[in-house]
Structure formats: C-alpha cells, structure tokens
Amino acid sequence: MSTKLRSNFESKTGMFWATRRAHWRALGISDEDMEKPKIAVVNSSSELAVCFSHLDEIARKMKEAIRQAGGLPFEIRTAAPSDFITSRGHRGGYILPSRDLIVNDIEVAVEGAMLDGMVCLASCDKTVPGQLMAAARLNIPTIIVACGYQPSGRYKGEHMDIEDVWLNSARLQSGQVTIEELTEMSECAIQGPGVCPGMGTANSMHIASEVLGMSLPGTTPVLANSPKMWDAVRAAGHRIVQLVQEDLKPRDILTPESFRNAVMVMLSICASINTVKHLQAIAREAECDVDVYRLYEEYADQVPLLAAVRPNGDYFIEDFEAAGGARAVMKQLESMLYTDVRTVSGKTVAENLADAVVADEQVIRPTSNPFSRRPSIVLIRGSLAPQTGIVKLGVADDRKLQFRGRAIVYETRDRAIEGVFKGEIQPGHVVVVRGLGPKGTPGMGTVSGLIFELDGAGLSDKVAVVTDGQLSGLVNRGIVVGEVCPEAADGGPLALVEDGDVISIDVERRVMDLEVDEDVLNERRARLRNLVDDRERGWLSIYQRLVRPLPQGGTLV
C-alpha cells in the first residue's frame, strides 16, 4: 500500500483507536483487516418502491468484490426517495429536498468515520445527484454504480411501462381510459426492480454520471439484475480499492471540461430537464467554477439530437442500451468533447472511447444524420424570468413555439387542475401556477399533473403554462415554461402577475415577457405580502430557510 490511508490512526494507542477497535472486533473484523482501505457501500435501499428493492443484494455482492480486491467494506444507508411514492405528502415537497438529505446522510456516516473511499448504489432520480454531490463535497475516491432500469410489461400486445400508467391515469377523468383498463395496466407495467425505463431523470442522471467520469465506462444505462449490471458491480468493487491506492479523487475528475461534456451529451439524448439543476448542484459541491445553465444555452444550437428514446421519441431504453448506451453517444460526439479529462477508470475519455462501437446508428445517430438540430432543452429569459425558465421540446416536436395571451393565476397546482375541470381555463390563456419553487412549496412542487389534465381536456395546444414549480422528465404538451427564477416566494416577477395580464413567450427567441408597465409593477411590488409560509416544521423548514436559488443548484451550501 503506497498511499497513506486517512482511516488508519498514526498511533495504536488512545481513546479513538481503542474504542473503534473494540467495536470492530465485536463485528468480527480482524486487526489485519483494520489496516485495509475502508470503503463505504452507500445503499439507498427501501421496501417502499421497486426502484430500490434489489439494492440489498447488490450491496452484498459489492462487499464481496471489495473484500476480494483487498478492501474492507462498510454498508451505510441513506434516504430512498421515489417520485411515485414519496411525492404524496406536503404537496410533493419532500422529493427535491431528499437529494440534499442524501448528501448530508453520506457526509455524516463517511466523513464522521473517516473512511477512505465509497461506492454509491445509484437508483431512482434523486439518489444519483445526491451521491454525486456527496462525492464532490467529501472529495474521497468514489465510484457511482448505476443499478439499472426496470423491465417493462405488455398490455393488449403493446409495450407498457410505468410512464404509460402515469400518462393514462390523467386520461381517466376525460373518459379516454376506464378504471378497469388502468388497473390492468398498473398490474403489468413493472416486471422487476429498477428505475423508470425511459429517458427520464433517473436514466438521464445515470448517463450523466458516466459522462462526468464518475461511473465506469460502458455501464449506463443498464437493465437491472442483468449480467451486464452484475459485471459492472464486480468491476466497481475491485476498481474502488485501486482508486483509493491511486488517490484519484472526484475533484480531479469533476472539472469544467467534464461538465461541458455532460451538458453536450444531455442535449444530444433529449435528457430530463432536471439534469440542469442537478449538474449545477454537483458543480457547486465540487467548488467547480462553471455555470451549467449558461452551458445549456451555449451548446443548445451546437449539439444535434442523436437519440430519441421514449417518452421523447419512438425508441425504448432497451434499444438505446443495445446500441451502445452512453459510450456510443460519446463516440458519436467525440470530435466535440473534451477527451483528455480523467475518469474513475484511471483512463481519459479518449482512452475509454478508443474501442467504442455504435451498434445501431438508427438508434444512436452520427452527427451528420441527427434526429433534429433543434435543441431539446431550451432556457429562456425575459422580464418574467430574469434569471431563467426552462422549456422541454420533443424530438419530432412541431408545436407552435410562440404564444401571447392573458394570464389566469393559481396559487396551487390542485387549484389549477380544478380550474380545468370547472372550465375556468380557456383557449388563449397563459396558466400561471406559482408558489411551487424550492422556498414556496417548500421543497419544489410539480405541475406535471396539470399538464396531463390540460392534455386530456384538449387544451394543451391552446394554452401556455408558466410556473416556478418543476416538471417531470417527460416531454410536455404545448408551451410549458417551468422552474421560473426568481421564484414567486423570492419576490420574483411571477409574484406580481394578476389575472388578465398579457404574457408573451417566444421559445425560438428564448424570451418570456410580462407586458405590464413598470409603474404598475412597482405599485404591486409595494403591497406584496410575504409569500413564504414560515409555519413549516421539520426537515422542510430547514430546507426552506437554507435553500439557494436553482441557478445555483438549489443546494444548501
């Protein structure tokens, strides 16, 4: 062992050495093992959702691999949020804050014990950025292991997955599906453990981790419990011990160039819009001087769309994996990428891509034959969004990208959905739903349910939606501007909008304006009440007090 381990005490005397030895001897750990690299196996296991149901077995196999490689593994647990399960309480406010809870969970366990490295078992949406943020903060050798997407089922001979169930649930109210059909769909959609099997936030962030250099090359996306996933688990278990010996740390890998690579790949695969704030949060934790939001703007018109995976296109995530996955996309983009950056493999991006093959250029296309040259993630600014707003576009999106109409304002998502049912929302309206940002919810509410209800009511192409809340990783119907900053609770212009105000949106020009005289806005601003509900208690109250604006990653530091 050439690298001095921080976990090994200088002196084999004193309280810390003696009490730790007493605990570890009681666990059956020998004095010889206590000298080995001590590796945290970060496991977000839970029986609440199928996303995490296979992680305990993965952790067991991971610990075996670490021991075989000469390390001493310690399994630790963190929060395990699922967007479909943990989103019911507090208006969905627990979802985004769970990301930052994971970061602090890991810090307490790993930094408190002064372990030497960690492998993080990444599953559902918030575990991946949370683990990457923790790696960036602690800056000890780390590998993120993608634990795979769930196998889908079939319904009446057609492909059926959890996102189909979600979309069809919104069609129940309009009578497009029956409760019996929806029940049957829910019974067959998920055929095993893992994350949602589309290009939503989970698979997008798994891929982002590989592109950043924090996951082993060729390991994302992957079918959960497949031979390929188990090979990746064993490889990571062996590699993390070497990584500790080499003292290769996350901040050696998470450079401005690696974030540029990640943004380019995210744009090329029509990734989830949530990748924008998550990548910014990771950069902030790494103390890396990079503005991820500006990078999405910089590369929007440069990077062509090379993949069209559901729900953004017609291909399945299985097709994308078979075509070569993240490594194949990077191979197609190789001339644009920064290929001299280091990765957890110990090699550079160029070395990792040397023998990469694109197995199907209809699924993962070359830059000379893209699906589209129009950006899939568009950041817009203007008087209604001085800092930013985000629009997601689909692969074959032919919607009109300009809209001008009068505002109809709602303070909650549920009240806006009620407005659909009551007929309050009419063609030509700009539906404003505010108070859903990180401070306002608190935690950040989602308006995806409203988007689906508007679609079911036949209004999605006849209205626009503007909100400081978040959207799912799915493509939205009509013009939907999400994550408007500053949020209403921070006194942003969104807080000043009143029913009947004219709002103009031009996605092509990337501008969104509130057409109200400044004198009128100043009068409204003077009588603006405090929009932050300080009656919140517990974890969400802590988050509400500390959270930074989304363009800073929405972190607590």
Which residues does 218 contact at the CB level (< 8 Å), separation at least 6?
210, 325, 326, 327, 356
State the Cα–Cα distance between residues 73 and 121, nearest whole angstrom: 14
* Structure tokens that stand for 328 in this block: 């194949």
E strand segments, 360-434: 377-382, 385-392, 402-410, 429-433
Which residues does 313 contact at the CB level (< 8 Å), separation at least 6?
270, 307, 371, 394, 395, 396
Annotated catalytic, 472? yes
SS3 of 167-187: the string is HHHCCCCCCCCCHHHHHHHHH
Q: Which of 109, 113, 118 is nearest to 140 (CA)?
A: 118
Q: Are 205 and 129 in contact (CB under 8 A)?
A: yes
Strand partners, 380: 389
State the Cα–Cα distance between residues 406 and 464, nearest whole angstrom: 10
* Structure tokens that stand for 174 in this block: 């309009």
Q: Give the H or E element holding residue 62.
A: helix 55-68
State the Cα–Cα distance between residues 193 and 127, nearest whole angstrom: 15
* Cα distance between the two ends of the chain: 35
In a 10 Å sphere around its CB, with 0-12 CB exposed, 13-18 middle and 19+ buried, how is residue 2 labelled?
Answer: exposed
E strand segments, 351-494: 377-382, 385-392, 402-410, 429-433, 464-467, 479-485
* Structure tokens that stand for 42 in this block: 């970060």
Pairing of strands 117-122, 38-43: parallel
Choose the catalytic residue: 2, 472, 504, 541: 472
Alpha carbon 390 to chain centroid, angstroms: 15
Which residues does 357 contact at the CB level (< 8 Å), separation at least 6?
324, 328, 331
Backbone phi and psi for residue 44, each to the nearest 5 degrees, phi listed first = -95, 65
Q: Are 40 and 115 in contact (CB under 8 A)?
A: yes
The dihedral of CA 337, 339, 345, 346: what is its sign?
A: negative
Which residues does 150 contact at the CB level (< 8 Å), separation at least 6?
50, 51, 161, 162, 190, 191, 192, 193, 194, 195, 196, 197, 224
Backbone phi and psi for residue 512, each to the nearest 5 degrees, phi listed first = -140, 120
In a 10 Å sphere around its CB, with 0-12 CB exposed, 13-18 middle and 19+ buried, how is residue 295 labelled?
Answer: buried
* Structure tokens that stand for 77 in this block: 């647990």
Pairing of strands 153-155, 158-160: antiparallel
Task: Give whole-number Cα distances, 170 to 161, 176, 424, 426, 548, in Å.
Answer: 15, 9, 18, 19, 33
Active site residues per annotation: 472
